[in-house]
Amino acid sequence: MDALSLLLSAALLWVPVGTLTCYGDSGQPVDWFVVYKLPAHTGPGDAAQRGLRYKYLDEDSGGWRDGAGLISSSTGAVGRSLLPLYRNTTSQLAFLLYNDQPPRPSGSQDSSSRGHTKGVLLLDQEGGFWLIHSVPNFPPPASSAAYSWPPSARNYGQTLICVSFPLTQFLDISRQLTYTYPLVYDHRLEGDFAQKFPHLEEVVKGHHVRQGPWNSSVTLTSNKGHVFQSFAKFGNFGDDLYSGWLVEALGSDLQVQFWQRSSGILPSNCSGVQHVLDVTQTAFPGLAGPAFNATEDHSKWCVAPERPWACVGDMNRNKREEHRGGGTLCAQLPALWKAFQPLVKAWEPCGK
């Protein structure tokens, strides 16, 4: 590789020092973004690229855009945002990586008793971001020293939402994790961080809430002042996140996309004033689509068809997950709702 190529590569991967935030596909800091990794069968291309294409959304993208490259690239939104995890070895950085399907499962860890929840907290002394996603075996632990996308996550659709928060908001975020009861497979929580965020210390040790109420909703404000609502439940809540709580809390019908190849799938629920409808097919706008069935989509999101609520999280609708921790992150942001509301092409009617 010549000197010019090396210089260009370095520029593409450059992350400003002291700027711990979500990064968009443009390579610039963003307040939030959503990435929708498309199922492998969608779109043209050779086998090497199949299952690695994605759609990208942020507040300034004007709706869904084709991803800047492949989801496996460290120059895209997800890879670039996670770069500090693999480069920074100082105590000025704290992180938690959690996943009920971790990259390197340990025989001593029973993930089935933990929350059905996946995400990343990455923060420094000024702030950081919360990445909530649906991707198994992701991301690689910090010791791998490199970002990569797991082969196990290529076939099906996946969603990831990243939101940049000031440091103070991680107090509430850390409390939410005591409800979702995540399986933490990698972390760094040294010095002041352990003192400032005692709940994170408890989460790392595998502790969780010990008394009811078994669910918690908190308002979080991003770096740019956008308001998000975090919903978290512990297993003792004993009900579906969506029909048992979220639909009433948001005061609207909800169309829910989730993994429908698990056992004990809950049917659409119209027993209350507001209805919860299982999405069966998703379609991106335009002639090129793409469109795909829920059985090809491992993503977890929901949208209110008539009012501007949209949520991205990590929980399915099935009987087993009524008794597991997990949650979702919701907002009434016009850009978010306008992007998700048209995606619902078909859903299961009640009483089917």
List, for residues 22-36, the tens digit of each pLDDT value. Answer: 999 999 999 999 999
**pLDDT tens digits, residue range 210-263?**
999 999 999 999 999 999 999 999 999 999 999 999 999 999 999 999 999 989
Residue 269 pLDDT more than 50?
Answer: yes
Task: List pLDDT tens digits, range 176-215.
Answer: 999 999 999 999 998 889 999 999 999 999 999 999 999 9
Tokens of residue 297, six digits: 């989509």
Among candidates 304, 163, 307, 308, which has minimal Cα distance to 225?
163
How far apart are the C-alpha atoms of 346 and 219, rounded to whole Å? 31
For position 289, what pLDDT does the model report? 83
Residue whose tokens read 């990794």: 37
Q: Taking the mean position of all CA atoms in its chain, how far away is CA 118?
A: 7
Are the CB atoms for 270 and 329 separated by under 8 Å? no
φ/ψ (deg, to 5) at 268: -55, 145
CA–CA distances in Å: residue 253 to residues 155, 247, 301, 316, 349: 30, 6, 14, 17, 13
Summarised one tens digit per residue, pLDDT across range 130-174 is 999 999 999 999 999 899 999 999 999 999 999 999 999 999 999
Q: Which helix (H) or strand (E) holds 78?
A: helix 77-87
The chain-wide mean pLDDT, for the chain, equals 92
- Cα–Cα dist 126/111, whole Å: 32
**CA-CA-CA-CA dihedral for 204, 194, 224, 140, to nearest 10:** -40
Residues 6+ apart with CB under 8 A from 8: none
Beta bridge partner(s), residue 95: 122, 188
Please give the residue that has the higher pLDDT: either 291 or 47.
291
User: Would you say residue 5 has pLDDT above 80?
Assistant: no
- Residue at token pair 């199949």: 50
Is 154 in contact with 296 (CB distance < 8 Å)? Answer: no
Q: How many residues does the chain have?
A: 352
Confidence of residue 45 (pLDDT cuts 50, 70, 90): low
pLDDT digits (tens, 9 = 90+) for 153-162: 999 999 999 9
Q: In whole angstroms, what is the distance from residue 255 CA to residue 163 CA?
A: 23
At 328 the three-state DSSP class reads strand
Q: What is the pLDDT of residue 11?
A: 36
Q: What is the DSSP string of 153-172?
A: GSSSBEEEEEEEEETTHHHH
Catalytic site includes residue 275: no
The 10s digit of each residue's pLDDT in 76-132 is: 999 999 999 998 767 789 999 999 999 976 555 667 889 999 999 999 999 999 999
DSSP labels, 168-233: THHHHHHHHHHHH---EEEEE--THHHHH-HHHHHHHTT----SS--EEEEEEE-TT--EEEEEEE
**pLDDT grade for 1, boundaries at 50, 70 and 90:** very low
Looking at residue 14, its pLDDT comes to 41
Q: Is the pLDDT of residue 3 over 70?
A: no
Whether the bond between 29 and the residue before it is cis, its omega within 30 degrees of 0, is no
CB 207 within 8 A of CB 213: no
Looking at residue 259, its pLDDT comes to: 97
Please give the C-alpha separations between residue 296 and each of 55, 151, 153, 154, 261, in angstroms, as whole numbers: 16, 16, 11, 11, 9
Q: Which of 133, 187, 208, 298 is catalytic?
A: 298
pLDDT for 328 beyond 70 = yes
> b vs e for 76-102, b when ≥16 Cβ sit within 10 Å of the residue's Cβ?
bbbbbbbbbbbebeeebbbbbbbbbbb
User: At residue 18, does pLDDT exceed 70?
Assistant: no
- pLDDT-based confidence at residue 2 (cuts at 50, 70, 90): very low
Q: State the pLDDT at residue 47.
A: 75
Give 193-204 pLDDT, tens digit per residue.
Answer: 999 999 999 999
